[in-house]
Structure 1
Amino acid sequence: MRRKFIHLVSFAAVMAIIVTGCSQSKSSDSVKVKAEKVSAENEKNKGSVYVESEFAPLKRVVLSQSEVYFPEEDSGPNMMEDMKDIQIKMEKEREEFKKVLQKYDVDTQMPRLLTEDEKKLGLAENGITGGAGATNFFARDPFFTIGNHIIEGSFFSSYRRLEVLPARDILLKEVKANQNPYVAVPQPDVSKGINSKTGPFLEGGDILVYGKTIFVGNSGQASNKEGIDWLRNYLTPDGYKVVEVKLEKNTLHLDCAISFVRDGLMIVNEDSLPNGIPDELKDWDKIKVSYKDAQNLAINGLPINEKVYVTDIAYKNTIGKELEKRDIKVEYVDFKITRSFGRRFPMHKLSHYCVNKYLLNKNFFFLWIIV
């Protein structure tokens, strides 16, 4: 059986660590009180990597090395012929995105590439992926940070189960420097086969952090109830509330349905949420997006802080216009090629993970950046 190795560098796999810094918006008194509590928690954890919210100031990110290693029969006969042009275009998108980050003094770094042994393991039919392949992209998903907890996830799709390894050195470095709790979701149960849906599964794209309230998506295609229960059991002793958010089956991750822009303001597609918007968020101001645009990843943007939001130029006249009405500065990047591969920003937001702003003056918002 012949195999193909495809090396893509894309934004869609960016991962970032966000610095702590919580700014308050003109929302309800209860929201302001929560923000004050979050800031107090921040102060208590100063000196450590700490993710306070999705919109805390972004200081440092990891831009992905997007690599795809699939069996030839799965990738199609013309894919390699097309990849050179696609690679060039994706690298250009990434560089334009990087310029936006640098404009706001956000430091960038990248995970290492897959090793030859990792590529071989991804193609081993009796290995961890069942021979489905190996990937090193969409760094938003392999791990995530909640408060000061750095957590490696567990993938539903078997070909992604080696994906955390290229970023692990970054995680270990941060843990060593800051003494963060560092855990991994238990490996999925494969007693009934490599593609068993038992789990537990928990992926970074399903995690939205808002102080001590953590929203976790469940579409049946990524994170599942077992993974969410594991997270709840792990975080509850530390004072967290974990809220499961049901997603319709075609909405892979929660960050494809909801994006927090600032305290009290979200971008959302309600058709992606069969049980509706979570009670905790119903009073928020909402920029509503069509189901079609949500499926094209219109919602999958990135707040650099509570005043600046990055999105695709394709949504300048829709999402962008609504954000500007609300005094949000919008930075636009053309992510046409990257978005066509399934996710927008190639970064893992450790910015979804707020790094304490006292951390070397370079807050690691994400250790994974993607979109």
Structure 2
Amino acid sequence: MVEKPSVATAVYTESEFSLLRTVVLAQSEFRAPDDLQDADPALGFLDGSDRESVLAMRGKTLAEAFPARQEAWERERDALKSMLQRHGIEVVRPRLMTEAEKAAAGTAGYSNFFVRDPWFTVGGNVIEGCPRFRHRRLEVLPSRPVLKERAFGSDAAYVALPAPELPDPEGTDGPGPFLEGGDVLVFGKHVFVGRSGLASDDAGHRWLSEYLRPQGYTVEQVPLQPHVLHLDCALGLVREGLLLVCEERLTEGVPGALADWDRVAVSEEEARALGTNGLPISPDAYITDPAFRRIGDELTRRGITVEYVDFTVSRSLGGSFRCSTQPLARFA
């Protein structure tokens, strides 16, 4: 069992809202698949104008299709980096994708834009998952140098999900296993894993449950509506006893372990724009987009200091602050 490390050698995530000490912040690289179609599941969670913009990128990078948006996207991530550093948080970046990696991705496209999903941390475990969408299958590679540098030589365990089986001839994704960090919420020894059919699956949940059980963890699956990409697009843990939730997106309601927590209700419209996908940086401070002032005001009334960063471009691609970051050290 991996115990909480010292600050000097920290690779450990205690909970979604424990003090954030070291975080990996995503790069801004995306090339859409050549065969992207309007009915593609990879677009199902996007609103109409955002969907049309991604369709217009078919076979191109965002930088090629919309150079000004690419520049704005990079500025968003730089603004978040500055905000995090002002709060004393160490910010680490993955490298950019190599030309060989881009070539290997081929017509499926590639991404290096939401570091939350290809790997994640639970306690003293660094876990490489497996994204379902094919343009994200190589997304873990730019983070590998960070993971090797930080995990090796620390007390952390560094493991990987088994590789998924091959897609079937009809073109479906196959039987997995699939497990994405956007579906994984950590609350001490209780881990919640979302499942909508768009990302993590039963096999991924079972693998994580079996892996973590000897360390004393309970891993609970949380069913989602089929249009919801990840659990963090429906539920956010702000501090112990306080959560954000769009209950319409949870097919069986808020999990029992969280049932008595104070709730800030998030509408379907707000959730679709990623209103639950802010980033707690401590139990008392939270980062979100100015588009969610109403939600921020509710948190402020509950004693949370709310910081705002414009994340319009990131959100148009289906991810926000939580999606763009992955903690390496988060504990009291």
Structure 2 length-normalised TM: 0.87
Hey, what does 1:118 align to over in structure 2?
101
**Cα separation, 2, equivalents of 1:227 and 1:151:** 12
Hey, what does 1:25 align to over in structure 2?
none
**1:102, CA displacement in angstroms?**
1.4
**1:180, CA displacement in angstroms?**
1.5
Query: Aligned to 2:12, what secondary structure does the other structure show?
Result: coil
1:94 partner letter: R
Query: Aligned to 1:223, what secondary structure does the other structure show?
Result: coil
Residue 15 of structure 2 is aligned to residue 53 of structure 1: yes
The answer to which structure, 1 or 2, has the higher relative contact order (CA under 8 A, 6+ apart) is 1
Give per-residue Cα distances to partners, 1:261-302, cap 9 Å, x unaligned.
Answer: 101100010000011110110000000000111011011000
Match of 1:208 among 185, 193, 199: 185
Worse-matched range after superposition: 92-101 or 325-334: 92-101
Match of 1:135 among 98, 111, 122: 111
Paired residue total: 309
**% identical aligned pairs:** 44
Give per-residue Cα distances to partners, 1:158-214, cap 9 Å, x unaligned.
Answer: 111000000011001112230321111111111625643411100000000000000
Residue 55 of structure 2 is aligned to residue 64 of structure 1: no
Hey, what does 1:108 align to over in structure 2?
91
Contact 2:15 2:331 in 1 (8 A): no
Contact 1:158 1:195 in 2 (8 A): no
Distance 1:221 1:173, change over 3 A: same
Give per-residue Cα distances to partners, 1:201-260, cap 9 Å, x unaligned.
Answer: 000000000000000000100001110001111111111000000000111000111111
Structure 2: gaps (5+ residues): 37-54
Contact 1:51 1:148 in 2 (8 A): yes
Hey, what does 1:305 align to over in structure 2?
282
Query: Aligned to 1:304, what secondary structure does the other structure show?
Result: strand
RMSD of Structure 2 on Structure 1 (CA): 2.3
Hey, what does 2:44 align to over in structure 1?
none
Query: Aligned to 1:248, what secondary structure does the other structure show?
Result: coil
Hey, what does 1:339 align to over in structure 2?
315
Contact 1:69 1:119 in 2 (8 A): no
Hey, what does 2:51 align to over in structure 1?
none
Query: Aligned to 1:174, what secondary structure does the other structure show?
Result: helix
**1:47, CA displacement in angstroms?**
4.5
**Cα separation, 2, equivalents of 1:259 and 1:77:** 31
Contact 1:45 1:148 in 2 (8 A): no
1:76 partner letter: A
Match of 2:206 among 229, 242, 252: 229
Query: Aligned to 1:85, what secondary structure does the other structure show?
Result: helix
Hey, what does 2:48 align to over in structure 1?
none
Alignment map for 1:69-108 (pairs within 5 Å)? 69-72=31-34, 74=36, 76=56, 82-108=65-91
**Cα separation, 2, equivalents of 1:348 and 1:202:** 17
Hey, what does 2:42 align to over in structure 1?
none
**Cα separation, 2, equivalents of 1:84 and 1:43:** 43
1:101 partner letter: L
Query: Aligned to 1:259, what secondary structure does the other structure show?
Result: strand
Match of 1:270 among 247, 254, 261: 247
Contact 1:61 1:347 in 2 (8 A): no
**Cα separation, 2, equivalents of 1:157 and 1:259:** 23
